[in-house]
Amino acid sequence: MPSALYIFAAVAVSAAITWGLRALPFAALAPLRASRTVSYLSTRMPAGVMVILLVYCLRGTSLDRPAAAIAPVAALAATVVLHLWRRNALLSIMGGTCVSVVLASTLPFH
Amino acid sequence: MKLHTVRAVFRDSAAVGFGLVPLGLAFGVIITHAGLPWWCAPLFTGLVYAGSLEFLLVGLVVAVAPLATVALTALLVNVRHVFYALSFPLHRVRGRAARAYSTFSLTDEAYALTAGEQGRMWPGPRILLLQLFLQLYWVGGATVGALLGSVIPDSVKGLDFAMTALFAVLALEALRNWRADVPTPVLALLSALAARVLFPGALLPAAFAMFTVGLLLRRIRLEECEECAVDA
């Protein structure tokens, strides 16, 4: 069990680095804002960034262990289908998470 | 701050908030189930405030990982925020304290909402209030989840999928805005899959770097084509 002091230190380190990464680039990148290349990047990036974060979330899912992949794959399918159907973020996230919890808690492979 | 602004911000933030609250609840439950004290929930969500790092931090703190490992993980997982400075409208936020909070709370969700089409006209106070709302959803959800966590049995698994679902929805929404632009998400997917195979320990920074280089190459090619067209 970690001590409270260690927990505070880990949080302080994480917070300082995260804020630094978020704040410092504004000073470094300020002169680039007028550039056409930068505006091209900034309009194209959000969609790609979300796709990469999605793959990152699923990185533990492997086709080498198909039984353990059933819950996340089914839950992702449910999320996407729900979202294309109703386009309601709450419904898609809750629906997908429910499928994940039900399958991961009941299937014997988890 | 006028009441109708507060209402508008609530409306703007509701869709993401509906994702953040259950996700926060799940995160709080995960904290308690990992054996950490409940106050880790408001501590992590209030001070670190970077969802994917907070999930990873639970595992690191439980294992009492060296602080250098914590620092490296924070750096690798959150290095993507460097790119957000390119297009986040910080120039509309006035004042030192306001800018400090605005950069501190520049999460994926805050970026997705403010850098998108709908946020193009939002003034600084509206952006700041939106960021505050998003953090309140997250801190509140996580704290309640941690307090309720001991009531939920350990046999309940798969709650962490809430984070995956949130990014799936944000990706679908972002794709909708750039429907005609197929190569960008394909490039992102290929970068992520290549990074997963080549740099499994540093998937995020590797994927973001490859994706950015790929976009730049594509942009250079587009410019060359424009020049050819002009020459002809």
- The residue written with tokens 């909070």 in the block is B101
Highest mean pLDDT among A42-51, B97-106, B161-170: B97-106
Number of H helices, E strands in chain B: 11, 0
- Window 47-76 of A: residues touching B by CB (8 A cutoff) are 47-59, 71-72, 75-76
Complex confidence, ipTM? 0.80
On whether any CB of chain B is under 8 Å from the CB of A98, the answer is: no
pLDDT at A94: 85
Q: Which residue of A lies nearest to B170 if distances are taken between CA atoms?
A: A50
Q: What is the average per-residue pLDDT within A65-93?
A: 90
Q: What is the average per-residue pLDDT within A80-107?
A: 90
The answer to whether A29 touches B86, Cβ cutoff 8 Å, is: yes
Name the residue ranges covered by the structural domains of chain B.
3-177, 181-232
From residue B202, how far is each of A69, B70, B227 by CA, in Å?
22, 14, 38
Average model confidence (pLDDT) across chain A: 86
Q: What is the average per-residue pLDDT within B31-39?
A: 92
Comparing C-alpha atoms, which of B206, B215, B166 is closest to residue A43?
B215
